[in-house]
Structure 1
Amino acid sequence: MKYVILMHSNPQPWGHPTSEFLAEHQALPPEERERRSAEFDEVLKELSQSGELVGGQALGDPRDARLFRWEGGRRKVTDGPYAETAEHFAGFFLIDVASQERAEEVTAKFSGPGETVELRPLFA
């Protein structure tokens, strides 16, 4: 079963890994930040070795995004995602796992202070 893990975040300034730029993460003791980083690296290594990690990618600054819409029968292109958005889509991981339970187990390891992580199955 394939799932996408969507990372939502809004670090100021924009950077990756996004957690390192979030006030909630920065407020953690240095040992806790290091532990979380090591755990994240270990999860990625485990998923790669098991073949469950299909791919993933961090996204650039949302200020560089362009929206393409139709308005009045014509294409309209505007800057950025949304001006007053609290969170932006920061990146994704595509996984192929045996069950929804496994997908949820993996996704739980991707969430951290100040971030929202969304798990969504691919359309079959």
Structure 2
Amino acid sequence: MKYVILIHSNPQPWGHPTDRFTEEGRAQSEEFHAASAQQFDALMEEINASGEFVTAMALADPASSTLYGWSPANGGEHLRTDGPYAETKEQLAGFFMIDCATRERAEEIAEHFAQPGGTVELRPAMWGDGDDQ
């Protein structure tokens, strides 16, 4: 079953890894960041070797986004607005897609993505027929 790990953060300035650019992350020691990076590398090796890693992508600053909408009031005209979209400090910073045998295994992996100044969301992926897979 495929799951998406969504990483929400508010780095200032925008940058990756986001935990180095959040207020909470900057408060951590260099030793903390080095140990976190080492643990992350080990996790990536593990899920690559097991075949659970599918893909991942870091996202650019939400201020660089363009939003598109549709309005029946304007005759179905497409509306274009500069980002960011969310009226919140935390924005989607990136995602990982994993393929795990059980939800419990996906949760075990997702908890490793929690970081200072960020929130991680685990969500099942849906495919063509609309059923959670």
Count of aligned pairs: 124
Q: TM-score, normalised by structure 2?
A: 0.88
Q: What's the CA shift for 1:83? A: 6.5
Question: Aligned equivalents of 1:69 and 1:45: distance in 2?
Answer: 40
In structure 2, distance between residues paired with 1:83 and 1:49: 36
Partner in structure 2 of residue 96 of structure 1: 99
Structure 2 residues without counterparts, runs of 5 or longer: 127-132
Structure 2 counterparts to residues 8-87 of structure 1, below 5 A: 8-71=8-71, 72=73, 73-82=76-85, 84-87=87-90
Taking the aligned partners of 1:40 and 1:5, their CA distance within structure 2 comes to 14
SS at match of 1:49: helix
Spell out, residue by residue over 1:10-38, the C-alpha distance to the aligned partner (whole angstroms, 9 max, x if none). 10111111111111111112211211111
Does the residue aligned with 1:24 lie in a helix, a strand or coil? helix
Correspondence for 1:119 among 118, 122, 126: 122
What whole-Å deviation, never above 9, does each CA across 1:32-59 have from its counterpart, x for those lacking one?
Answer: 1211111111111111111100001001
Which one has the largest radius of gyration? 2
What code does the residue aligned with 2:119 have? T
- SS of the residue aligned with 1:76? strand
Structure 1 runs of 4+ with >4 Å offset: none
1:7 partner SS? strand
Q: Which runs of 5+ in 1 are unaligned?
A: none
TM-score (norm 1): 0.94
Q: Give the 3 Å change call, closer, same or farther, for CA 95–83 of structure 1 in structure 2.
A: closer
